[in-house]
Amino acid sequence: MDQLGVGVVSDSVAQWLVASLLAAVAFFLLTLVRHGGKQGRLPPSPMALPFIGHLHLIRPPPHRAFDRIINRYGPLVYLRLGPSTHCVVIGSADVARDVLKFEGSIPERPLTAVTRHLAYDSAGFAFAPYGPHWRFMKRLCMSELLGPRTIEQLRPVRAAELAGVMRAAAEAAAKGETVDMSRQLIRMSNNAIMRMVASALPGDMADTARDCAKKVAELVGAFNLEDYVALCRGWDLQGLDRKTRDVRDRFDALLESMIRTKEKERREEADETKTKAKDLLDILMDAAADPAAEVKLTRDNIKAFIIDIFTAGSDTTATTVEWMLADLLNHPDCLQKLRAELDAVVGRSRVVGEPDVAQMPYLQAVLKETLRLRPPAVFAQREAIEPIHVRGYTIPVKTSVFFNIFSIGRDAAYWEEPLEFRPERFMPGGAGEAVDPKGQHMQLMPFGSGRRACPGMGLAMQAVPAFLAALVQCFDWEVPNPPLDMEEEAGLVTARKQPLVLLPTQRLHPLPLP
């Protein structure tokens, strides 16, 4: 019996040793094939573990894990995630500028197992390969879908959704009750996006879309072992593939219903719709029906693009407004400066609107400081299609390149007391006076930079500060149980971990809603 036990243990150990040896050989061969033995000098790197590489260092949220690594090893770091997924992380404005000089070598956004399903195999815009389709969609975005004329035409949609939040706050104030601003703001932003996409959308569809959009953000932001360990692909060990397919199917059914409803409306009201303001679905369907278009859009292209709009524009809008309000409540002096500017520029007889934003430099400074400290998208990811030689190091082909926007915005080389909330740094005389957040200044790049920068930045810079300004203008806000929790939730978008529950007091009587 004892001899049998020893034999079993010995066999088990032998099998483990053989498996370990095979894994080591496989990793060596994969690395040799991948880089051809000529990868050059890689950037500095922490010590890696067998098989898993540096995965053990990437504790959630990943942008903070990257930040810790950058603080120890420098602003350009090489990491191996799993046996054969290679990446570099960039954590300073200067290195970001140097790498983006080779933007033509990193034009792609890598598809993950989750985004491949949700993007209809890159049929949309966000994950489309750089080429004719992507360039066509980029032009369509900038000139039509998210161009100044369309943004202006759809402003009443956003104003109507903001009015809904204001009424909810006024009702809570009248009853002396608290209001969950996190819930109100995400409902507002999702409804606004839905109404901008399809203006005649039934209410139940908006609720379904809001639920789907939330799940999409959770899935895209989740760590998926399949993306890093090839042996795990196809097994769905975490259940993410099943959840993704379920959300994709629900979203697809919703989008199909939206498109069919729009097709029927366009057939029945062909003459009338020519004089109506077009929503985003109208613009996409016009492009698909254009026989002269250089790229023919399919139904999947339209669906994938709408999902792109939802995932990029709903949660990010809500969380940015939420962080702005929370930071102002933690800094009453800043709140009073903003309120004084509102009273001077807008007065108390009407609600501040998007056209007022250009005349309010302190409001814009509050937005920039929030985007610097709490960018809605904490990193931007690209993939190298050819080797890049920068700062004496080589970024090999097929390497994922992470611009850790969270770290870049806190770069002490550009910002004095970088962890402090100080909107004054963006006012005349401040270090950020001339800094624009639209991708030209690397020290502040919340929307990314270059050809893959977010095309919705113009809308965000106009709508987000107007939403926040209206809340500050019309209400006083009190934290029922101070201090205010400022911890982040792990995920694709840096939402607050705890809901922002506040006690409102109406400041303007009557509330000057449209």
The annotated binding site is made up of 454
**What CA–CA distance (Å, rounded) separates 155 from 151?**
6
Dist CA 406 CA 470 (whole Å)? 27
Tracing tokens 């060990």 back to the chain, one arrives at 237
Residue 476 zone, left/alpha/beta (φ > 0; ψ -120 to 50; rest): beta
Which of helix, strand or coil describes residue 196? helix
Q: Report whether 465 contacts 408 (CB < 8 A).
A: no
Can you say which residues are annotated as belonging to the binding site for heme?
454
Gap between the Cα atoms of 16 and 102, Å rounded = 44
Residue 122 in contact with residue 128, Cβ under 8 Å? Answer: yes
Residue pair 373/354 in contact by the 8 Å Cβ criterion: no
At position 492, the amino acid (one-letter code) is L
Structure tokens given for 17: 């040793």
3-state secondary structure of 229: coil
* Angstrom distance (rounded) from CA 219 to CA 196: 24
Q: Dihedral sign for Cα 460, 107, 402, 216, please.
A: positive
Name the DSSP letter for residue 465.
Answer: H
Classify residue 292 as exposed, middle or buried by CB count within 10 Å of its CB (0-12, 13-18, 19+).
Answer: exposed
CA 227, CA 239: separation in Å to the nearest integer?
14
Q: In 3-state terms, what secondary structure has residue 436? A: coil
| Token pair 């806000």: residue | 477
Q: Which of 432, 376, 370, 384 is nearest to 405 (CA)?
A: 376
Residues β-bridged to residue 67: none
How many separate helices (H) and strands (E) can be counted in the chain?
A: 17, 9
